[in-house]
Structure 1
Amino acid sequence: DVDRDWVPNGPDSAYYLRPLVFATEERMGLKSSDEFLFMVMGGPFRPLFAKPLRVKVEREYSRAAPGGTGFAKCAGNYAAAMYPTQMAKEQGFDQVLWTDAFTHQHIEESGAMNVAFVIDDVVVTPPLSDTILDGVTRASVLELARELGYAVEERTVDVAELADGIEGGSVTEAFGVGTAASIAPIETISIDGVDHTLKIDESAKMFELRRRLNAIRFGETTDTHSWMTTI
């Protein structure tokens, strides 16, 4: 019970748990380890982003390629993201939006979260693949969206569709979804040096989804999905 005070109880706060397994075999050489250590790290946290985000569509560097480990919560996946993300932050962006490694024409995910859009009143997110993390928050948000009666599509989102849609009004919302990020609204998307800005409206679908998700997370409503576990 000595650790109880580490668990915050303020609005939107939580205690973040991260399971981790890594190799511990004492040897040199290029070989898969036969010995591993499993551990669980934890710490208090607030939502990763406190304000609507300004993101850059990455058209040069790649986070993951087909045939790799991009679908998994693998520490090595972060290595390729470090340099382009740092450059984006130096340019005034909060995150990058990754595109496919071959053509850089298709949106995949953001640096710290999956990503979704509202296009023609439909909640749209890129389909899972071996380069997109199968996020538990992504799955939860899609399930809640369907329960709310929102139309949902898991399909390819092209960079050009995003640019034209924001300017033409068919793309009305963009948001990240992740364990640490919860649901993070995206206000500005920079594509090839041009900023495309979305209006942040409190009546937006993403905010209703966030309210529903947080109500379950914080025990304010009945968890009919069996997502929560008492520890």
Structure 2
Amino acid sequence: METMVNNISVEKATTSKINEVDFDNLSFGSVYTDHMLVCDYVNGAWQSPKVVPYQPISLDPSAKIFHYGQSIFEGMKAYKDESGKTWLFRPLENHKRLNKSAQRLAIPELPESHFMDGLTTLLQVEQDWIPQNPGSSLYIRPFMLASGKGFHASPADEYKFIIACAPSGAYFSGKVKVLIEEKYSRAANGGVGYAKAGGNYAGQFYPTQLAIEKGYHQVIWTDDNTHEYIEEAGAMNIFVRINDTLITGPTSDRILDGITRKSILQIAENQGIATEVRKISVSEVVAAAKNGSLKEMFGAGTAAVVSPIAAFGYKDTDYELPELENSYASQLKKYITDVQYNRSEDKFGWRYPV
């Protein structure tokens, strides 16, 4: 039976899978909720979004997603505080970046009302799926794909926008050992590196697998031209602390404008931590590791918030980072998660009630 919630059609699932889920042992992104949001672009316009039971989607073999890779996505989370109220973290930034990615891949931009009304309606329907265990959250995956048919190399004329959700436990990355990449590139000037395009991630898998075979967990990407400057850590933005200054690379055609990244910069500035947004050369990082001024390196992104790096490899040499008490990484992660779970004052207006 269909009902209307926030002017959005909701078709409820006849049965729920929720009682089959062990919320105390959730792996990341592998269990899915009962419903999803679907919205189609046809006849030159986005149609009304609908909440429907979670289900497979049917596509023609000639759908352009399979041939020309028009696919983009976002990653976000919903959090429950101690009183059971649900919050989002800077969701309008996700919508802006989705449309920035859409524009770069010649996908029609999605109206803000479709994104926000659809998202909040879906979360209201799935309230019981948002875990309240410490550190747990509901991972949210909005994505768009080219559903229009045709083997000719041109943008599709039809698209699907979908939001699917997966309850996830606390994300512990452990001690991460990374390899600074000397040959392969994640992105190039003039390319799509700044977009959250599916192909960006597909292209990372092979070099990352080579690093894993050498005993590393992830790759530190370097610039496409000279491989002299570090750019991203796996699928995350990267921060380097030399002495007491926190440094990250500038966003560009090649580097994703991470929401966690920009939040960390704002928090650090507010907390009186010196920051620099500039190119970081591999030689500078290696020299700092050798002379003891390299205090921390960490990745920043939605899944782990902050993922500390314990060691990095470069030119057949490994460099260990010191274990610090009260590190910048731990301070910044605590600040962000306290805001996300409504445990502290929200000075910047980042929390969004559902």
* 1:99-178 correspondence runs (5 A): 99-178=222-301
Query: Where does the alignment leave 5 or more consecutive residues of structure 2 unmatched?
Result: 1-123
The equivalent of 1:81 in structure 2 is 204
Q: In the aligned structure 2, how far is the partner of 1:162 from the partner of 1:21?
A: 38
Q: In the aligned structure 2, how far is the partner of 1:92 from the partner of 1:164?
A: 23
Distance 1:160 1:47, change over 3 A: farther
Report the 3-state secondary structure (helix = DSSP H, G, I; strand = E; otherwise coil) of the residue aligned with 1:80.
helix
Q: In the aligned structure 1, how far is the partner of 2:313 from the partner of 2:188?
A: 23
Structure 1 residue 95 displacement after superposition: 0.8
* 1:1-231 correspondence runs (5 A): 3-231=126-354
Q: Please identify, of 210-219 and 39-48, the stretch whose mean Cα deviation from structure 2 is larger.
A: 39-48
Cα distance per residue 1:164-189 (max 9 Å; x no partner): 10121111110110001210110101
Query: Where does the alignment leave 5 or more consecutive residues of structure 1 unmatched?
Result: none
Give the aligned residue type for 1:129: S
Give the aligned residue type for 1:5: D
Q: Please identify, of 187-196 and 36-45, the stretch whose mean Cα deviation from structure 2 is larger.
A: 36-45
Q: In the aligned structure 1, how far is the partner of 2:192 from the partner of 2:198?
A: 10
**Is the 8 Å Cα contact of residues 113 and 181 (structure 1) preserved in structure 2?**
no
TM-score under structure 2 normalisation? 0.63
RMSD over aligned CA atoms reads 1.4
**Is the 8 Å Cα contact of residues 55 and 95 (structure 1) preserved in structure 2?**
yes
Distance 1:125 1:201, change over 3 A: same
Report the 3-state secondary structure (helix = DSSP H, G, I; strand = E; otherwise coil) of the residue aligned with 1:229.
strand
Q: In the aligned structure 2, how far is the partner of 1:57 from the partner of 1:112?
A: 14
Q: In the aligned structure 2, how far is the partner of 1:184 from the partner of 1:46?
A: 16
Report the 3-state secondary structure (helix = DSSP H, G, I; strand = E; otherwise coil) of the residue aligned with 2:296.
strand
Q: How much identity, in percent, do the aligned residues show?
A: 39
**Is the 8 Å Cα contact of residues 228 and 282 (structure 2) preserved in structure 1?**
yes
Cα distance per residue 1:169-210 (max 9 Å; x no partner): 111110110001210110101011110000121311111111
**Is the 8 Å Cα contact of residues 14 and 44 (structure 1) preserved in structure 2?**
yes
TM-score under structure 1 normalisation? 0.96
